[in-house]
Amino acid sequence: MTVVYSNGRPVRRLSAVSKFTAALALGCALVACSKQEAAPEAATTTAPTAAAPAVTADTAVSAKVSALTADQLREAGSKAYSENRLYAPVGDNAVEYYLALRDKAPGDAAVASALTDLLPMTVIATEQSVNREDFAEAQRLAALLEKADAQHPALARLKASITAQQAAVTKRAEQQALTAEEQAKKQAELEKKRLEDQKKQQDQAAKQLAAKESADKQAADKAAADKVASDKAAADKAAADQRAAAQRQQAAAVPASAASSADLRAVSTPAPRYPPEALRANQSGEVQVEFTVASDGSVTAARVVRSNPARIFDREAVNAVRKWRFQPVPAPVTTRRTISFNPGG
């Protein structure tokens, strides 16, 4: 799922796979070129990742990103999100753009939603960076996570893992006494592995976001279908109410001595169906239904007089009453009955 903006309002759409593939290929080419140019300098350094200043939550978002306006951040974040640059490369990824945008627009719900989707992927990427001993990347990702949520349950564990793994690597390096050439080769392999892992991770993240988008669409479709059904039920109820009113008027014209509710003798009163949603929620209630029994004993009209809770059991109560049958009476009789719904009854 991708958060974008239309007329200043957040909307969502699926990621464009073709755009992502082209952008990723271009990004890999640029990274490869920059690494080739930096290779001579890296070969003379014993531990390149250790020489770089540690990234903190305060410096996790680059100054270039922080300097953008809110509108620029929205556009850049949406583009990075749609192209699956979720947390990499540095200075051009969705996490940094949305963190900077959150600083400028703290109450933006779309930004909060996007970060909620992105943080689990960032945690996984941090763990994998530690496993492949890419501590600079692990510290950068952990700093992004800390800026996004300083109380994140995985943050302390990730920091401890980075520290412990760094200590283990340092000890191993001292024991093995790696030469500068071996270290440069290891760094080149590390960079290759990082690019491969980032591509796999972001491809997987794109699939997960697409699945979430599909689930959201299904939920929206169901809500629309439920609304159509609710509107139809309301229209049916209005029509039934009109028929009941006409029947009450007709019944009022019959002498009171002709028939009354005391004359009604039930032949069949099937129990109403229990609404599945209410049953799952263990919800109880009752509905008072007013209905008219025709001379042949059939129920010709039924309407809800009151219900508690409102509308939960109305439809099933009315449907059940319409199926009731009584012994024939001299004239139509209008009466009321209260139907109780108890999940344990």
What percentage of the chain has pLDDT greater than the value 70?
81
Query: Of 223, 250, 273, which residue is a domain's last?
Result: 223
Same structural domain for residues 72 and 190?
yes
Tokens coding 185 = 């080769």
Long-range contacts of 212-218 (CB under 8 A, 24+ apart): 212/1, 212/117, 213/1, 213/2, 213/12, 213/13, 213/14, 216/1, 216/12
284, part of any domain: yes
173-228: pLDDT as tens digits: 898 877 888 888 999 998 999 999 999 999 998 899 899 999 999 998 999 899 98
Same structural domain for residues 127 and 273?
no
The amino acid occupying position 29 is A
45-91: pLDDT as tens digits: 344 444 567 899 999 999 999 999 999 999 999 999 999 999 999 99
Tokens coding 184 = 């440069």
The amino acid occupying position 45 is T
Same structural domain for residues 153 and 59?
yes
The residue to which tokens 């508690």 are assigned: 308
Same structural domain for residues 218 and 264?
no
The residue to which tokens 């109780």 are assigned: 340
Number of domains present in the structure of the chain: 2
Q: State which H helix or E strand residue 13 sits in.
A: strand 9-13
Identify the CA nearest to 98 among candidates 83, 90, 108: 108
Range of the domain at 215: 2-223
- Per-residue pLDDT, averaged over 125-141, amounts to 96
Residue 51: its pLDDT value, please? 52
Query: Of 223, 251, 277, which residue is a domain's last?
Result: 223
Same structural domain for residues 176 and 267?
no
230, part of any domain: no
Going from the C-alpha of 40 to that of each of 33, 35, 36, 294, the distances in angstroms are: 13, 10, 8, 99
Same structural domain for residues 10 and 150?
yes
10, part of any domain: yes
Task: In whole angstroms, give the CA distance from residue 275 to residue 282.
Answer: 10
236, part of any domain: no
CATH number for the domain harbouring residue 326: 3.30.2420.10
Same structural domain for residues 219 and 272?
no
Strand partners, 303: 290
User: Is 278 in contact with 310 (CB distance < 8 Å)?
Assistant: no
User: Is 87 in contact with 95 (CB distance < 8 Å)?
Assistant: yes
Residue 251: its pLDDT value, please? 52
Give me the DSSP letters along 136-179.
Answer: HHHHHHHHHHHHH-TT-TTHHHHHHHHHHHHHHHHHHHHHHT--
Identify the DSSP state of 331.
S
Same structural domain for residues 209 and 293?
no
296-320: pLDDT as tens digits: 999 999 999 999 999 999 999 999 9
Identify the DSSP state of 39.
H
Task: In whole angstroms, give the CA distance from residue 254 to residue 182.
Answer: 106
Same structural domain for residues 298 and 219?
no
254, part of any domain: no
Same structural domain for residues 266 and 218?
no
292, part of any domain: yes
Task: In whole angstroms, give the CA distance from residue 334 to residue 294.
Answer: 9
228, part of any domain: no
Same structural domain for residues 104 and 215?
yes
Query: Of 223, 247, 271, which residue is a domain's last?
Result: 223
CA 169 to chain centre: 40
Same structural domain for residues 164 and 296?
no
295, part of any domain: yes
